[in-house]
Amino acid sequence: MTDAPTPPPAAAAQGRAPEITRKSLDRPDERVAKASAFTRLMRRPEAGVVLGLIATFLVFAVLPGAASLYSLQGAMTFLTLSAELGILAAAVALLIIAGEFDLSIGSMVGFAGIVIGLLVTQLAWPLWASIGAAFAVAVLVGYLNGYITVKTRLPSFIVTLASLFILRGLSIGITRAVTGRTQIPYILDNPPDPWTAAIFNGHVLTGLFQWMGTQGWIATKGDGMPFVPGIPMSIVWWIAVTCLAGWVLTQTKFGNWIYASGGDATVARNVGVPVARVKITLFIVTAVAATLLATIQVMEAGSADTVRGTQKEFEAIIAAVIGGVLLTGGYGTVLGAAFGALIFGLVQMGIFYTGIDTDWFKVFLGLVILAAVLVNNYGRARALGERVES
């Protein structure tokens, strides 16, 4: 790069040709004000959700009763809620960015739990094998959702609405036919498999937390053990899933294809992106994420329930949208969806702690969705450099 050529002095004298500022390769466009670091930060898809998160933190900090939300125990409680939703939200974010919806993941959570429960209690399969089978079922369900959507070109909204009912119906129907009930208890008891269970329901950093307890830094029970034994595995899984999904989306070829499939499927196909394969893969990913959550919940509760995961599909979509993922596809980040899940857990526990009637949570949710979609539209316009008054 050479130095920018100095422009000739302005043609002030009369009778001369008007001065034209020429385009140049060597200097930046003078019509564009240089965006400050702050402006560039605010243009990121997650900008809205981060501001929302800060606002939510502040609101609960001043509300009476919510102080315990910010204790270690309170934090772990809402983080666990966020984690369980966040696992779904990361997968759902990828799928929405690729231009599709999966409404069946809530039912898949219930169905996967039932598969594990029935295999362990009825067929006496080992726990690890039952979990493996549940994941295999998830791959099949995801594949079918994706294949039908891609082949029929029907909206995935409709296709997966059908699977929502089919899977929920199968869960209840099969369980009642086999056991006469709608719940399957004692999954972890015969024979116990603590090692497998611990992968999904253990704690990490227990030594550190114990040490912090002996130092008197965190609250301990009568026997000297800390109230919070460590970081729950659900949070570890959430972080792992978020990092993996985020990495794939922004750093890999497949991630580029995800953006392209949702941005403009025809253009993507024309340049050789295997759009059908991308979409089918992501339907499998959402079903597998649902099964991961189901496994965590079954290991936590020791039982499976046919109504588990009800409405989780909507909560996951909400978390993604709050996080700046564009409902129409092609735009958004996994990190945003994680922040969305964080807000979700925080508000849910915050309302509980402040003693506000939890019925109001849904009103709040509705308003937040509306606000988020409006913010996203604005964010999209900014990303496209449309002339938004500011």
Partner 1 sequence: MTTPAIELRNVSKRFGSVIALNDVSIAVNPGEVHCLLGDNGAGKSTLIKILSGVHRPSDGQILLSGEPVVFRSPRDATDAGVATVFQDLGLIPLMSIARNFFLGREPEKGIFPFRRFDLDHANKIARQALIDVGIQVRDPSQAVGTLSGGERQSVAIARAIHFGAKVLILDEPTSALGVHQAAMVLKFVIEARLRGLAVIFITHNISHAFPVADKFTLLNRGTSKGTYAKSDITREEVVRIMSGGEDMAAVEREIEDLLEKAR
**CB atoms inside a 10 Å sphere around CB 232:** 23
SS3 204: strand
Beta bridge partners of 304: 184
Selected from 28, 64, 222, 224, the binder of partner 1 by CB under 8 A is 28
31 lies in the site for partner 1, by CB under 8 A: no
Both tokens of 254, joined, read 């497949």
Selected from 68, 252, 358, 377, the binder of partner 1 by CB under 8 A is 252
**CB atoms inside a 10 Å sphere around CB 280:** 22
Shortest spacing between CB 223 and partner 1, in angstroms: 44
263 lies in the site for partner 1, by CB under 8 A: yes
62 lies in the site for partner 1, by CB under 8 A: no
251 lies in the site for partner 1, by CB under 8 A: yes
Q: Which helix H or strand E contains 20, and what residues bound it?
A: none
Which whole-number Å values give the CA distances from 29 to 24, 25, 384, in the listed order? 8, 9, 17
**Beta-carbon contacts of residue 293 (< 8 Å; ≥ 6 apart):** 84, 87, 88, 109, 309, 312
- 320-354 burial string, b = 16+ CB within 10 Å, else e? bbbbbbbbebbbbbbbbbbbbbbbbbbbbbbbbbb
Selected from 2, 8, 9, 23, the binder of partner 1 by CB under 8 A is 23
Nearer to partner 1, 17 or 32 (CB): 32
Residues from 354 through 383 that contact partner 1 (CB under 8 A): 380, 383
Shortest spacing between CB 384 and partner 1, in angstroms: 3
Place of tokens 């394969």: 277
User: What spatial distance separates the first Cα and last Cα of the chain, rounded to whole Å?
Assistant: 33
Pattern 85-124, partner 1, x by CB under 8 A: ----------------------------------------
Cα gap 188→45, rounded to integer Å: 42
Shortest spacing between CB 282 and partner 1, in angstroms: 17
Shortest spacing between CB 246 and partner 1, in angstroms: 12
304 lies in the site for partner 1, by CB under 8 A: no
273 lies in the site for partner 1, by CB under 8 A: yes
Nearer to partner 1, 23 or 362 (CB): 23
**CB atoms inside a 10 Å sphere around CB 271:** 7
Number of shown-chain residues binding partner 1 (CB under 8 A): 33
Beta bridge partners of 204: 231
Cα gap 234→338, rounded to integer Å: 14
Selected from 267, 367, 371, 374, the binder of partner 1 by CB under 8 A is 267
Q: What is the CA radius of gyration of the chain?
A: 25
Nearer to partner 1, 45 or 230 (CB): 45
Pattern 313-352, partner 1, x by CB under 8 A: -------------x---xx---------------------
Place of tokens 């056991």: 179
Q: Which helix H or strand E contains 366, and what residues bound it?
A: helix 360-383
255 lies in the site for partner 1, by CB under 8 A: yes
Shortest spacing between CB 23 and partner 1, in angstroms: 8
Selected from 260, 287, 293, 298, the binder of partner 1 by CB under 8 A is 260
Cα gap 313→107, rounded to integer Å: 8
Shortest spacing between CB 258 and partner 1, in angstroms: 11
32 lies in the site for partner 1, by CB under 8 A: yes
Nearer to partner 1, 309 or 379 (CB): 379
Handedness of CA 320, 322, 328, 332 (dihedral sign): negative
Shortest spacing between CB 264 and partner 1, in angstroms: 5
Query: Is residue 69 a contact partner of residue 60, using CB atoms and an 8 Å limit?
Result: yes
13 lies in the site for partner 1, by CB under 8 A: no
Residues that bind partner 1 (CB under 8 A): 23-26, 28-29, 32, 247, 251-253, 255-257, 259-260, 263-264, 267-273, 326, 330-331, 380, 383-386
